[in-house]
Amino acid sequence: MNKLFSIGFWNTVARFILRNRPLILIIIAAITVFFGMQWKNMRFTYTEANLLPDDHEVNLQYSEFLSHFGEEGNLIVLGIKDSTLFTPSKFTAWDQLSKDLQKSDEVALSLSVGNLQKLEKRKDTTGFKMVPVLKDSIFSEETLKKYKYELFNKLPFYNGLVYSPNKKSVRTAIYLKKDIVNTPARKDFIDKVLIPRIHEFEETTGIKVHASGMPYIRTLNSQNIIDEIGMFIGAALLVTSLIFFFFFRSWRATFISMCTVIIGVMWAFGILGLLHYEITVLTALIPPLIIVIGIPNCIFLINKYQQEIKQHGNQAKSLQRVIAKVGNATLMTNVTTASGFATFILTNSQLLKEFGIVASINIIAIFLLSLFIIPIVYSYMEIPKYKHLKHLNKGWINDFVNWMEAMVRHRRIAIYVSAVILLCASIIGMYNIKISGSIIEDMPQKAEFYKDIRFFEKEYNGIMPLEILVDTKRPKGVMKLATLKRMDELQEYITEIPEFSKPLSAVELVKYSKQAYYNNNPEYYQLPNSQERTFLLSYAKNSSQDTNLLSSYIDSTGQFARITAFMVDTETERYDRIEEDLNAKIAKIFPKERYNVTLTGKALVFQKGTKYLVNNLIISLSLAIFLIALFMAWMFRSLRMILISLIPNLLPLIITAGLMGFLGVPIKPSTILVFSIAFGISVDDTIHFLAKYRQELIANNWRIKKSVYAALRETGVSMFYTSIVLFFGFSVFTISSFGGTVALGALVSATLLFAMLSNLLLLPSLLLSLEKSIANKETFKQPALKIIPDKDEENEDEDEENIEGSN
């Protein structure tokens, strides 16, 4: 293994690359075309990100619910709050909107104030029939006035379903066909039918329509994510290219780097398509990540090339040394970064596995692209002119390096005190971090559909479905009066919880049947007593084929029932208390020996998934730290060096966690990745610094101070460049309309800034303070891997001649 990564090996790699330049470029172009052809296989997810493994108990319970009642997130609601609705022209327009939508193939049922039906007793037999509440097709002022009174005062079944509890707004319920809810047909219906028809109604009547429901929210939110992927890639390229040019003052260096990362982004999309993975909330982060991780590779390679040109002006020797020296170090930094992301593959979550696979593959791919493209392209170009090298002598850069050296030389106590103060403050802040499992928290708060969500929360107490599955453990057990009474008791308890809307279940239908039997007197909207039960259920049985009311809430066997409630966006801690109280109430009402009752639904699955993600990412981050510590052990063969190298990388993570606590940024799917991303990138600087430090130790015969300052001066500029590019590169995410994306960008930027200062100030300070215990030959043994080769330039002259001959 020593020979494999020796200077001879990397000289061989350099010769291979520079002697086969046309072939390598053709291969890269062919692979890029191949991946471009795979773009057609990319799929955008049409469901919420399921963060739980398939065999998780919560997923199994949700799957059981779906097996009995099918897709539950198929409801779209259109709401209006306007006192003039019950006038002929506007009511007709609202009714026509519902009828037009009902004609669409994607719609199973449309329930609106214009087409409501009510139960009536049959006169010819024992049973009920459904009759229209509004029998006239032409609406008059008087007809609508009477209808409004009947709806709000005599039809309690529609309270919370069609009209709001405060009776100031009404809504139309559109039930999509369940087999198209998670397909592209849903998006086509919303984009091409629903939204244009809503706009037409608004222009005609001047009434504002509020649209919501899980299919609608998911469609518009997914479209926002798709739109922002392109925006972030463009913004990241623009910002990083401007900063890159500001540092290097070379259009061609900037252009070459941008082309390299663009090819990397194309490969990332191609790999997603090749593997047939969906673009989810996590995999959507990969293309911008490729830019972020690829640019430092370009900076280290180009900066080394320009330093070599400035030193001796020999292009062949410069390209040789760029590949042989920086290539090896860059390989290890990319391997450690890829290893950090690869730890997600070991989790049980399919979403995390896919993210880990694609991210780790693409990180290695962008390394190879950088290693091949930059030296090859520069080999075809003229030697950089003096103006392209002036940035190496910039006064402010030298001032910055001098400041770092002065701080490390004379202010180490101040550095340690500052680090300890930040550590203590951050630990205090960490105790204030909260976990958020909200589905809508990360959605763009300025978007119309987000405002509509708040409208329905205010008027109808929520839009996020919570399902309760009741298993009576025997066929036809649901319609037993004892079961109905237990369900009614639970529903009354749920109604008292302010975060929930009025629940819907078979209980409401049975209550409505009793009201219908007593000539629709609303005073009889209640469960039947034991005497009434027999003939009321016989009525319901005889009319079941005509009304089909029970099929949505009782399965075909009569053994399973569902209770559906909608909830407002709720903080995780409050939701946990509600869930705990609900389960306690359920256990009290439904004896376990007779009933099996479970809470489920998309809102609950997402809440549980967020907690699972947090636990898994903590494990993944710990595993990443362990793996990187193993890399350090393999490279430096020194336990003390492992500890010293981890300290400046863990401190920024703790500081970021403290900032999240103080700023009220919760842990959620969009922000938990901050730690893995930042740690994987910041440790690269540590590897570069320690690699150069070890090289200087050997060259300077183990003189610690001279070696530290030399390493600080040579690597400090590149580390500063890369950190600033990364800082502003991630900062572009703050222009997002998604709160989670803004937090992700700001937190990663801050973490990388702290990491740069930590690696440039704290790390060399530790090396100097502990010099006697870490830098002697006994404790700092010959490494298994020469990250940056020693001063031995064996066979280099011969290699230069060979490369020049190939040119």
Residue 806's pLDDT is 45
Domain assignment present for residue 437? The answer is no
Residue 196's pLDDT is 92
- Cβ partners under 8 Å of residue 431, min gap 6: 661
Q: Report the relative pairing of strands 278-279 and 43-44 from DSSP bridges.
A: parallel
| Structural domains in the chain (count) | 2
Q: Under DSSP, is residue 338 helix (H, G, I), strand (E, B) or coil?
A: helix
Domain assignment present for residue 1? The answer is no
Residue 796's pLDDT is 46
Kindly report the pTM of this predicted structure: 0.75
What is the average pLDDT across 330-335? Answer: 80
135 and 225: one domain?
no
Indicate if the pLDDT at residue 455 is higher than 80: yes
CA 17 – CA 574 distance, rounded (Å)? 60
**pLDDT tens for each residue of 635-645:** 666 677 777 87
684 and 784: one domain?
yes
Indicate if the pLDDT at residue 57 is higher than 80: yes
CA 537 – CA 517 distance, rounded (Å)? 11
181 and 237: one domain?
no
On whether the CB atoms of residues 296 and 365 are closer than 8 A, the answer is: no
Domain assignment present for residue 802? The answer is yes
271 and 378: one domain?
yes
131 and 251: one domain?
no
The confidence band for 470, taking pLDDT boundaries of 50, 70 and 90, is very high
Domain assignment present for residue 79? The answer is yes
756 and 728: one domain?
yes
Domain assignment present for residue 786? The answer is yes
Extract the tokens encoding 183.
């397909």
**CA atoms within a 13 Å half-sphere pointing along the CA-CB vector of 368:** 14
**pLDDT tens for each residue of 530-588:** 777 776 666 555 544 444 556 778 888 889 999 988 888 777 778 888 889 999 999 99
595 and 637: one domain?
no
Window from 267-276, 279-288, 301-310, 387-396 with minimum mean pLDDT: 387-396
Residue 688's pLDDT is 74
Domain assignment present for residue 439? The answer is no
**CA atoms within a 13 Å half-sphere pointing along the CA-CB vector of 177:** 15
CATH of the domain at 684: 1.20.1640.10
Residue 459's pLDDT is 86
Among 799, 801, 806, which residue's Cα sits nearest to residue 19?
Answer: 806
211 and 63: one domain?
yes
Q: Domain limits at 336?
A: 7-48+219-431+606-806
Answer with the one of 573, 605, 637 that is the final residue of a domain. Answer: 605
The confidence band for 425, taking pLDDT boundaries of 50, 70 and 90, is very high
Residue 352's pLDDT is 76
197 and 235: one domain?
no
Residue 4's pLDDT is 42
472 and 413: one domain?
no
Residue 774's pLDDT is 58
Q: What is the mean pLDDT of the chain?
A: 80
CA dihedral over 471, 476, 480, 484, signed as positive or negative: positive
Domain assignment present for residue 91? The answer is yes
Answer with the one of 605, 622, 650 that is the final residue of a domain. Answer: 605
The confidence band for 158, taking pLDDT boundaries of 50, 70 and 90, is confident
39 and 98: one domain?
no
Burial tier of 4 (Cβ tally within 10 Å: 0-12, 13-18, 19+): exposed
Domain assignment present for residue 209? The answer is yes
**Comparison of pLDDT for 655 and 327, the residue scoring more:** 655
Residue 28's pLDDT is 93
Residue 281's pLDDT is 67
DSSP 435: B
Among 684, 594, 692, 686, which residue's Cα sits nearest to residue 642?
Answer: 686
Answer with the one of 605, 633, 652 that is the final residue of a domain. Answer: 605
Residue 541's pLDDT is 54
566 and 484: one domain?
yes
CA 82 – CA 67 distance, rounded (Å)? 40
